[in-house]
Amino acid sequence: MNELFSALSRALSPYYTEMSIMLMATILVVYGDIINGHVKRILAPYHFTIRISLFVVLCAFGYGALTLYGAPFLKHVIAYLPWQYQGAGFVASFMLIGFLAERRRYI
């Protein structure tokens, strides 16, 4: 079994950076509506132009920053796993996000 995990990690290791970006983007897709709902509630009393401007800032810079800084963080968290389990950790993370999306009736 360890040989299988090692082979998976060996095959995926050149793509860990891209996979962490994919994982962060997937998290933002699944949970972005919750973030938008909170922001919508906070911005509701403000004028239309302020709401639009802050929403654009949130989408352009907020989600961009979450992706830019969150992806290396996720890669760093996966790096805490022993090397032979890192590939399986990424696969398990994607499966967990898929499961959570299914529970939210997102898929």
10 Å CB burial of residue 90 (0-12, 13-18, 19+) is buried
User: Is residue 9 in a domain?
Assistant: no
Count structural domains, the chain. 1
Range of the domain at 21: 15-106
User: Is residue 1 in a domain?
Assistant: no
Write down the pLDDT at residue 12. Answer: 94
User: Is residue 102 in a domain?
Assistant: yes
At 28-56, the pLDDT tens digits run 999 988 988 998 899 899 999 999 998 88
Write down the pLDDT at residue 2. Answer: 84
User: Is residue 10 in a domain?
Assistant: no
Write down the pLDDT at residue 74. Answer: 95
Write down the pLDDT at residue 58. Answer: 86
Query: Do residues 90 and 12 make contact, with C-beta atoms less than 8 angstroms apart?
Result: yes
Place of tokens 């950076």: 17
User: Is residue 4 in a domain?
Assistant: no
User: Is residue 20 in a domain?
Assistant: yes
Of 90, 95, 86, the closest CA to residue 5 belongs to 86
CA distances from 11 to 17, 29, 62, 86 (A): 13, 26, 33, 11
User: Is residue 6 in a domain?
Assistant: no
Whole-number CA gyration radius for the chain: 17
User: Is residue 80 in a domain?
Assistant: yes
The torsion angles phi and psi of 106, rounded to 5 degrees, stand at -85, -25
Of 99, 91, 86, the closest CA to residue 23 belongs to 91
Tokens representing 86? 């890192």
Collect the ranges in the chain with pLDDT lower than 50.
Answer: none
Distance CA(70)–CA(24), nearest Å, equals 6
pTM value?
0.85
